[in-house]
Structure 1
Amino acid sequence: MVLRGVGGVGKTALALFWLAKISASHPDGQLFAELTLPTGKPVPAEDVLGRFLRALGVAKEAIPTSLAERTTLYRSLTAKARLAVLLDNVASAAQAKVLIPASPGSVVVATSRRQLLGLVATGAVPVRVDPLPKAGGLRLLASYTGQARVDAEPENAALLTRMCGGLPLALCVVAALVTARPRRSLGWLVERLRDEHRRLDVLSVEEDYSVRATFDLAYEDLADESKTAYRAIGLSPGALVVPELLATGLSADVEDAAEALESLVDAGLVEEFDEGWYRAHSLVHVHAKALATQHNGDATAVLRRIVDWYVATIREVSHTLMPARPVQPWSSEVSVELPPRLAGAAEALDWLERVHGDVVQVIRTSLDQGWHEPAYLLAHALQPLFVLNKQFMAAIEVCELGKRAAAVSDQPGREASMRKHLARLFIEIGQYESAEREIRATLADAVERQIPAQVASAHKSLGLLHQTRGAHDVAVADFRTALELLPGTARPWTRALLLLSLGTNEVDAGNAQDATEHIEAAREIFREQPDEYNIARADRELGRARLALGSPAEAENLMRKALAVFERHKAHHEVARTHRALADWARHGGDQVVAQRHVDRAAEILGGPGLAPS
């Protein structure tokens, strides 16, 4: 077996533990060899064979001098033996091959940061050793410090585990530091580790128990091109890396970047967790960043190219998700290597959900660097993701960051845009006072600056607030005001969204006839874009209007057509809303069983109780 993983992950400890458990089934002995010196230099295989032969009872003077002769003698001696062999820190497959006993009854465990494909190709079983999950990390910490200290500060204990990224070596250093200072709290060490720049210093107490030294050893073994790629990964604010991102950061070809990533995988510094997607352990990332900032190079220029890659890519993927949505102008408009073309909205949504956490880090880094335009553009480009997945708290975080970035720009419309998004998010989570505060601030600023489009947008937000509170007549009045104030130069798409909101509330206010007119007008504009997602929204609301006007068959057809689109877009909340509309349709026809089925499906999607339609 080949146990592989990042340095300090506990490969040797796991091998020793497992070999001890099976020792009874290998009665002819156990052999152990460290195959890499502390300097990183491989131990010659003939030296290890000499030690193995002496351990097997061969007199010193009877041991051959050449590697070939020692290998032959070793295989002869082990042909019928049942041995357990641990080859630790293997430098290469060739180094390990000559140390494998000849008998099929023996077992060999090789540990390495490298993949050792030469061993796997001849039948070895690869086993990836991952960092400990939270529970395992806490158990390891408690085994040193005592359970009482962990129980006394559960939040700080969890923080220590997270700061160590579950890496056993780092956790053991943390435990040693805590144990050596019995009067200090776990919180004391959390504060020492909070500063990312000092974290590796704290976790490197001695050369043989040093997280930094472990990573330094792997880094020094890299070729120059791979070292450059490693440092660039450290500069990337996010945890995930794709070849296109690295290529932009390095100003290199995608093929070269992909090759560099593979070399880092081989070195055990980066893992490929999905096809074309890579990531480094959190402490490896800290190590790479420290090297990048110390290196005499253009670290700021590399970081800016990485940020620009995110801006260009997120804007492109966001446009794929919602092609009719306006794209904000970007003063740079740099050319970058984009990921392989995404086939449609579903793939774009999956891609954005995967990178969302990293994009937030890129926004924060951009703000720290004073790059306010990229921060705003990223916050704006993420909005379609939140429209579809309804992750309201994550969306609020991004909009707050976007508002900070927009506040220092010379484009007041950008701050108004972020306030608008914030207000509507606060409406969604029931924080109506916060929503109204943002709307009133936007409205006052727009009136003072005499910007009709922003005044209209603020009235639309007020309409949505009244809609959520159930005051549909008041909401209709606000939407009508917004339509009246909307400039003739406004985009048709913007007008269509207003018409749709107006029609939706007219249905709920009992004026289905006017609602039909407004929703059909909105749908025609969406068809000209084309905007499949909002066409589906219009179809569902038109279905509700038709139901109110006594046309249940037409209503059902419109609702089911909308449902198919929302399911294809993975717009789960819209799917749930459409099931609720279908529940009303079924109830209108007197079929309470079907109505409850739709209600239950909506509740299942949203994770809440299924309430009878009313």
Structure 2
Amino acid sequence: MEFRLLGQLEVRAGGAEVRIGRRQERLVLAALLLKANETVPPTELIDLIWPDNPPTDAAGAVQVYVSRLRKTGVRVDGTRDGYRVVVEPEAVDLYRFRRSVAEARRTIDPVARSAKLRTALELWRGKPLADLFADAVRTQVLAGVEEERRAAEQDRVDADLAAGLHEALAEELAERVAAEPLREQLVIAWMTALYRSGRKGDALAAYSGLADRLAGEFGLDPAPAVRRLQLAIRRDDPALRLPGTARGGDAVPRELPADISVLVGRDDLLEEARGVLTGTARVYCLWGAAGVGKSALATRIGHLVSADFPDGQLFARLQDVHGAPVPPEVLLGRMLRSLGVAPRAIPASLEERTALFREQTASRRVLVVLDDALHAPDVAHLLPTGPHSAAIITSRRHLPNLTTPALPDATQAIHRQVVPLDANTSQGLLIRLVGRALHDHATLHTLVTGCAGLPLALRIVGARLALSGEDALPALLASQPGSGDSPPVSSRPDTGQGLQLDSLVAGDLAVRSSLDRTVALLDGEGQALFERLSLVGVTEFPSWVAAPLLDCDETTGLAAFERLVDLGLVELVSGRYYKLHDLVRSYSAARLAATGDPSKPRDRYLTAVHRLTALADTQLNHGMTLATHLEVPAQPILPAAEQEITDDPTLWFSRTWQLIGAAAFTALDLGKAELAGQLALRLNGYHVTQELLEPRIELLEAVRDALKDKGPFELYVRTEIALLPAYHRSPRELLSEGTRLLELAIQAKSPYLQVRALVEMSHGARWAGEPELALEHSTEALRLIDQPDGPESMRSVVLRTIASATTDLHDYAAAQEWFEQILQLSVPGSMMEGLDLAILGEIKMELDELDDSEQLLRRAAANFRSVSSYYHLAWPMALLARLAVRRQRTDEAAELVAEVHSWFETLPWSVEIHLRAAEADLAIATGNHEAGREILLATIKKAEDRGDSQFATAYQQILDAHDQAD
């Protein structure tokens, strides 16, 4: 099937039109095609169809429309998150247009480039989808698409100018400027065409017309690029002419672009540059990412030091508008003409032009500003020779190999990276550009964060808000946040919502085109990695992700990452961990969507995440058994990443747990529920050790819901059991849920899961203050283990519940025997062994065997420290504090309590329930009896309110013991 969006919506199959009669169905199809092969949420479709008053069952209506579309032969897949149309990009005219434009922009010859752009523009049959969208909705939905057309038309005009077709363009552009008088790029092209056609007066009149209209209607001046062109025309700047045209006069060249009015956050570089350029170094190199403000900074520096270079200031851009390098011989020709060399006297070869340029600058005080340099050897040809001359160079990559043979031997180039602005500086710049403060602080925060500290993005947003006020916000923002609060920690893939990339266009400024020129500098491997990084779903990631994404080894992947860092597309965070900002990632995702099917690299990546997560889980030594039966994928083997896991699995998890969670959600979106379930269970152990409750519940619930419908059933029940302790239900609810899960485990015919359910029921009974019932459930679990093929891996877990219930019955001698038996089965150094040691240490303290108690508690603390589980570590630390009070070491007790407090901003209940007893003991031991009683009474009430009878009873016993002592 063929789909046409660039005009009225048309669908054709086999040359014949496919009729889709209802407007709502056509609307749904158009919305899906605009994001072909991407999932579109139902809410987005509802807002497009019924922008004002959606019907009660709008989601059901959308489902009906999708069903009707499928009957016409359109393939629409449905997921829990929405719908996506599955189509080859070449079948949609919009994507053919984009491919053709991209191909044209890679074409160096201007005549061929113009022809390809004309072919692409012929695909447009009118306003896209004008028959479907209301004007207000069209502006919101299709602003970026129409801007692509205007950009392609502008590229075609630029190509015609480069090809020398200025006379024909002067007539064509007169009509277009009359239709769009405020489109400044059109005015620039028209002024250039008029000037090259010998109509200098008309070119200056065109500028005056634009300036008068902007001042009269908006109170604004023309953009800096237009003002620079007007000045260049007035002084007959040779750069305006095509190569080979003559320059008259012998005026001193003053070619610096107009300085911008507001430049912030660069004071240190400005101060250093002035010293460098008027001192001995003489060459100042600025490098950094696209949009970071290198050119504006270089221009400001040039103006600051211009008085020190009375023989002129030369300016040259080393890339054309499409990012292609301008040959150094071409630039040398222009600069030699600017220095007064007659065109006939300029030699043809690069070597001869370089020699002549060095001769011309040998005795002059000239400043050369070279913008957007690509290669150090090309730059070397363009440096002046004189001992009193200097150069400023900007580049998107570091140029460490730049040599300066044209300058004295003592000259060394100074290289400085221009980094993004910090949040406060960005906010200040945006407010100054807008001219007023935004009342909605959440929106201001979103805008500043979305601009990523890039002055280019901030200037575009500022210009649009200054011109249109807050009416521009819907087009700028992909989603408006409801408040300024930070979102909860989540494992879901980050959608990168915030600023709309296609909305970041103002006048002659555009973020996308700046990024286009940067990515064009990458080789194919680097471009592929950059695009596929959007599949990872998080903003920070380790270098090993490159190996499965590119199907290469880790060394090759690391080298590809280094090329991305060199161009500022990704940021090196630390070691081998990188960051891709949301704004750049949305661009990365858009490129990936236009290049074809990403399923193979995505599948390789998910398999790599699965293997590494499984290896890390097996080495974490938490002692939990829910995932022990799961297999570890055999491939791909990533030696460096696996060594990092072996060195410190806890540290590895701390850096990648959100990436793993995002991979699980991606697997769910792809319908791979079993893979998502295995990832969730492998991640569950780390979640538990770090008490990452919200992301743990979020992921397990999503997996459970998917497995409930799709299976496997046994994995579904495991997920349900993993969820149960995460909810922190009341003891009665825990008993009830455990009974339900026991029924599911029996249905799954899994003795292991039956034992797990009985363990949860035993916990519920203990916390409800019924140790006899807890012992009954634990005994039944032990009976299942003792059967042939019973789940032996659960023996230590079940014995622990028996021993704990025995402790609650105050049979400490029997409890000791049980725990000593458990310690023979526990994995040495594991978190589970730590739990056993802590309970046994507490029993020993109750029996007043304080030396043994302290030894056991310190061993337990060491186990918890080994897996960095501070939530669990707080328990033996609190017990050690109580033991120190008993031994009259109150200073030590106070230090232990303070250390636990230092780990948490707010004490979780699982920590508080252990720590309050130590605080009460300490208060009473230091003479503050009333404060100790208040701590205990408050804790008892809180435990009762939560339904934790076991803890309420335990604290009441502590209180009674203190009262008796008094």
**1:251 aligned to 2:551?**
yes
Q: Deviations over 1:485-528 (max 9, x none)?
A: 3522454442312333453565466443232122222211114x
- 5 Å matches for 1:485-524? 485-486=781-782, 487-488=784-785, 489-504=789-804, 506-507=806-807, 510-524=810-824
- Report SS of the residue matched to 2:649: helix
Once structures 1 and 2 are overlaid, which stretch shifts more, 316-325 or 548-557? 316-325
Query: Which amino acid in structure 1 is aligned with residue 589 of structure 2?
Result: K
Query: Which amino acid in structure 1 is aligned with residue 593 of structure 2?
Result: T
Q: Deviations over 1:329-375 (max 9, x none)?
A: 66893511325233667721122121222222222222111111221
2:672 maps to which residue?
Answer: 371
Q: 1:387 Cα shift?
A: 2.2
Paired with 2:738 and 2:608, the residues of 1 have a C-alpha distance of 33
Query: Which amino acid in structure 2 is aligned with residue 540 of structure 1?
Result: A
Q: 1:118 Cα shift?
A: 1.0
**1:60 aligned to 2:347?**
no
Rate the CA distance shift 1:603–1:229 in 2: closer, same or farther, 3 A.
Answer: closer
Q: 1:569 Cα shift?
A: 2.9
Contact 2:464 2:472 in 1 (8 A): no
* Higher normalized contact order (CA 8 Å, seq sep 6+, divided by chain length): 1
**1:170 aligned to 2:457?**
yes
Once structures 1 and 2 are overlaid, which stretch shifts more, 346-355 or 321-330? 321-330
Within the candidate set 390, 407, 411, 2:708 is matched to 407
Paired with 2:649 and 2:675, the residues of 1 have a C-alpha distance of 20
- Report SS of the residue matched to 2:572: strand
Within the candidate set 664, 671, 688, 1:387 is matched to 688
Gaps of 5+ in 1: none
1:287 maps to which residue?
Answer: 587
Query: Which amino acid in structure 1 is aligned with residue 844 of structure 2?
Result: R
1:211 maps to which residue?
Answer: 511
- Report SS of the residue matched to 1:89: strand
Q: 1:293 Cα shift?
A: 2.2
Contact 1:379 1:401 in 2 (8 A): no
Q: Deviations over 1:566-603 (max 9, x none)?
A: 33332222332221110121122233232222212222
Rate the CA distance shift 1:501–1:94 in 2: closer, same or farther, 3 A.
Answer: farther
- 5 Å matches for 1:154-169? 154-169=441-456
Q: 1:328 Cα shift?
A: 5.6
Once structures 1 and 2 are overlaid, which stretch shifts more, 83-92 or 306-315? 83-92
Paired with 1:431 and 1:157, the residues of 2 have a C-alpha distance of 42
Once structures 1 and 2 are overlaid, which stretch shifts more, 222-231 or 367-376? 222-231
1:601 maps to which residue?
Answer: 899
Query: Which amino acid in structure 2 is aligned with residue 361 of structure 1?
Result: A
Contact 1:546 1:552 in 2 (8 A): yes
2:635 maps to which residue?
Answer: 335
1:316 maps to which residue?
Answer: 615
Contact 1:459 1:482 in 2 (8 A): yes
1:477 maps to which residue?
Answer: 773
Paired with 1:543 and 1:197, the residues of 2 have a C-alpha distance of 51
Rate the CA distance shift 1:323–1:532 in 2: closer, same or farther, 3 A.
Answer: closer
Within the candidate set 684, 696, 699, 1:398 is matched to 699
1:584 maps to which residue?
Answer: 882
Rate the CA distance shift 1:205–1:186 in 2: closer, same or farther, 3 A.
Answer: closer
Contact 1:519 1:542 in 2 (8 A): yes
Q: How high is the sequence identity, in percent, across the aligned residues? A: 23
Matched residues, number: 598
Contact 2:423 2:453 in 1 (8 A): yes
TM-score (norm 1): 0.84
- Report SS of the residue matched to 2:296: helix
Contact 1:93 1:116 in 2 (8 A): yes
Paired with 2:387 and 2:826, the residues of 1 have a C-alpha distance of 70
1:131 maps to which residue?
Answer: 420
**1:349 aligned to 2:650?**
yes
Paired with 1:134 and 1:480, the residues of 2 have a C-alpha distance of 60
Contact 1:463 1:476 in 2 (8 A): no
Contact 2:333 2:353 in 1 (8 A): no
Q: 1:395 Cα shift?
A: 2.1
- Report SS of the residue matched to 1:3: strand
Paired with 1:30 and 1:436, the residues of 2 have a C-alpha distance of 83
Query: Which amino acid in structure 2 is aligned with residue 308 of structure 1?
Result: T
- Report SS of the residue matched to 1:273: strand
Contact 1:9 1:169 in 2 (8 A): yes
Contact 2:363 2:386 in 1 (8 A): no
Query: Which amino acid in structure 2 is aligned with residue 401 of structure 1?
Result: A
- Report SS of the residue matched to 1:77: coil
Q: 1:552 Cα shift?
A: 0.8
Contact 1:566 1:574 in 2 (8 A): yes
- 5 Å matches for 1:92-131? 92-100=375-383, 108-119=391-402, 124-131=413-420
Once structures 1 and 2 are overlaid, which stretch shifts more, 226-235 or 198-207? 198-207
**1:299 aligned to 2:598?**
yes
Q: Please report the RMSD computed on the Cα atoms of aligned residues, expressed in angstroms.
A: 3.8
Q: 1:190 Cα shift?
A: 2.3
Query: Which amino acid in structure 2 is aligned with residue 373 of structure 1?
Result: E
Structure with larger Rg: 2
Contact 2:285 2:415 in 1 (8 A): yes
Query: Which amino acid in structure 1 is aligned with residue 859 of structure 2?
Result: K
Query: Which amino acid in structure 2 is aligned with residue 571 of structure 1?
Result: S
Within the candidate set 833, 844, 848, 1:546 is matched to 844
Rate the CA distance shift 1:95–1:281 in 2: closer, same or farther, 3 A.
Answer: farther
Contact 1:419 1:439 in 2 (8 A): no
**1:35 aligned to 2:318?**
yes
Paired with 2:414 and 2:839, the residues of 1 have a C-alpha distance of 58
**1:90 aligned to 2:373?**
yes
Contact 1:240 1:277 in 2 (8 A): yes
Rate the CA distance shift 1:192–1:557 in 2: closer, same or farther, 3 A.
Answer: closer
Paired with 2:772 and 2:337, the residues of 1 have a C-alpha distance of 92
- Report SS of the residue matched to 1:43: coil
Contact 1:193 1:202 in 2 (8 A): no
Rate the CA distance shift 1:54–1:600 in 2: closer, same or farther, 3 A.
Answer: same
- Report SS of the residue matched to 2:292: coil
Q: Deviations over 1:235-273 (max 9, x none)?
A: 333334545432223333333333333333334433333
Contact 1:4 1:268 in 2 (8 A): no
Gaps of 5+ in 2: 1-283, 405-410, 482-494, 908-914, 922-966
2:119 maps to which residue?
Answer: none
Rate the CA distance shift 1:613–1:201 in 2: closer, same or farther, 3 A.
Answer: closer
Q: 1:106 Cα shift?
A: 7.4
TM-score (norm 2): 0.55
- Report SS of the residue matched to 2:505: strand
Once structures 1 and 2 are overlaid, which stretch shifts more, 572-581 or 306-315? 572-581
Paired with 1:392 and 1:45, the residues of 2 have a C-alpha distance of 60
Rate the CA distance shift 1:169–1:328 in 2: closer, same or farther, 3 A.
Answer: farther
- Report SS of the residue matched to 2:573: strand
Query: Which amino acid in structure 2 is aligned with residue 60 of structure 1?
Result: V
Contact 1:239 1:279 in 2 (8 A): yes
Contact 1:576 1:603 in 2 (8 A): no
- Report SS of the residue matched to 2:840: helix
Contact 2:611 2:632 in 1 (8 A): no
